[in-house]
Amino acid sequence: MDHQFPDLPLGLGMGLTMNRHARDNFEGLSETEKEHIIFKCKDAKSKKEMDKIISSLSQDEKFDELFQGPNID
């Protein structure tokens, strides 16, 4: 297994490894935005929530919905 993202939550690291577009977008975020995404991932209660975060990262539009409210839903 590739340990390209050792400091990230497992689900986020795996998602970024499998989704190049999400990885590129994540790498383009500021450190503060990255930290916010990491906290969201740590708070994710299910695979569905984690998938939604990765999916949002892979979109070309800004990720504003990830930075709103305490929940992903």
Q: What are phi and psi of 65, to 5 degrees?
A: -65, -25
Do residues 72 and 52 touch, judged by C-beta distance below 8 A?
yes
For the beta carbon of residue 25, count every other beta carbon within 10 angstroms. 20
pTM flag (> 0.75)? no
Along the chain (73 residues), what's the average pLDDT of each consecutive run of 10 residues?
A: 69 93 93 93 93 90 57 51
Do residues 36 and 5 touch, judged by C-beta distance below 8 A?
no
Q: What is the pLDDT of residue 2?
A: 47
Do residues 37 and 57 touch, judged by C-beta distance below 8 A?
yes
DSSP-based three-state secondary structure for 16: helix
Please report, for the chain, the start and end positions of each structural domain, with discontinuous segments joined by +: 10-58
Q: What is the pLDDT of residue 71?
A: 54
